[in-house]
Amino acid sequence: AAELEYESVLCVKPDVNVYRIPPRTSNRGYRASDWKLDHPDWTGRLRVTSKGKTAYIKLEDKVSGELFAQAPIEQYPGIAVETVADSSRYFVIRIQDGTGRSAFIGIGFTDRGDAFDFNVSLQDHFKWVKQETEISKESQEADTRPKLDLGFKEGQTIKLNIGNMTSKKGGAAKPRVSGSGGLSLLPPPPGGKIAVPPIPPPSSTAIANHVTPPPVQKSSNASSADILLDLDAPASASKAPVSATTDLWGDFSTASSAVPNQAPQQSNWVQF
């Protein structure tokens, strides 16, 4: 896995000053005022890279890019990188060579913004390292926990109750009848019958106001036309019983009463 890791660049600053610092005599921390700030011991380029979870501060030559010193950092803040007590532009880093020897040197930036970028790049990298560590720890704990078996066992079944579905006996679900006003009315029982309201008997007034055609005078000569004229006679209307269901002229009783009696008209039938 270490061979597959690649190196990424986190920050590059073209100007950085390097100082030799005196050994720390107490626990009060480093102070940049104790250094010879006007006469740096080396000037070059700073590059911050990362490979895996480890960050590297590399001091390189501006022109050739030759490596001057390198400081591996495995924790920040920590002993590998420390800030000074009297300035935000100066830091103390621990450099190491290939043989395992280490030394503490001071670095400083002319621009305060460069110092801020250098500090933030290290903070972001180790924040990512912390998140990766927590995620890997949670995944390992999840692997050790007993897994839940949510599958169906052999012969195990479930039952679902869904509305408006056909029952086991084959009968369809009864639909709800929606009445007026948005209220749901239950359907009538299956064995019941709806009673038909009775038809009221015809009143005597409707029979009295029944409109009959005027009488037609018969001709002196008896022929087959007399039989047809007998259909219009008022006597035939009085013989047939009048029912309320066939009385289509009852609504015109008032209109017929207002018409005056007219003289009987002559028949238009022609005798052969």
How long is the chain?
272
Nearest partner of 57 among 1, 121, 114, 3, judged by Cα: 121
Which comes out higher in pLDDT, residue 212 or 11? 11
Nearest partner of 40 among 18, 62, 59, 69, judged by Cα: 18
Please give the average per-residue pLDDT across 89-116, as a whole number.
Answer: 91
| CA 135 from centre of chain | 29
Label the pairing between strands 177-178 and 184-185.
antiparallel
Q: Report whether 59 contacts 69 (CB < 8 A).
A: yes
The pLDDT > 70 percentage for the chain reads: 57
Using pLDDT thresholds of 50, 70 and 90, give the confidence band for residue 164: low
Where are the chain's structural domains? Answer: 7-137
CB atoms near residue 87 (< 10 Å): 16
Nearest partner of 58 among 93, 23, 83, judged by Cα: 93
pLDDT of residue 165 exceeding 80: no
Q: How far apart are CA 72 and CA 95, in angstroms?
A: 7
The predicted pLDDT at position 6 comes to: 84
Q: How far apart are CA 86 and CA 81, in angstroms?
A: 16
Contacts 24+ apart (CB under 8 A), 36-43: 37/108, 40/108, 42/17, 42/18, 42/68, 43/15, 43/16, 43/17, 43/18
Using pLDDT thresholds of 50, 70 and 90, give the confidence band for residue 220: very low
As separate numbers, helices (DSSP H) first and strands (DSSP E) second, the chain gives 5, 9
26: phi then psi, degrees, rounded to nearest 5:
-145, 180
Which comes out higher in pLDDT, residue 219 or 198? 198
Which comes out higher in pLDDT, residue 218 or 150? 150
> What CATH code would you report for 7-137?
2.30.29.30
Task: Identify the bridge partners of residue 104 per DSSP, sorted by sequence position.
Answer: 94
- Among 51-65, 78-92, 238-252, the minimum mean pLDDT is found in 238-252
Torsion over CA of 241, 243, 246 and 251, rounded to 10 degrees? Answer: 110
Nearest partner of 68 among 91, 41, 92, 88, judged by Cα: 41
Please give the average per-residue pLDDT across 113-134, as a whole number.
Answer: 92
Please give the average per-residue pLDDT across 39-44, as a whole number.
Answer: 92
Q: How far apart are CA 119 and CA 240, in angstroms?
A: 119
Q: How far apart are CA 88 and CA 119, in angstroms?
A: 10
The predicted pLDDT at position 244 comes to: 46
The predicted pLDDT at position 163 comes to: 73
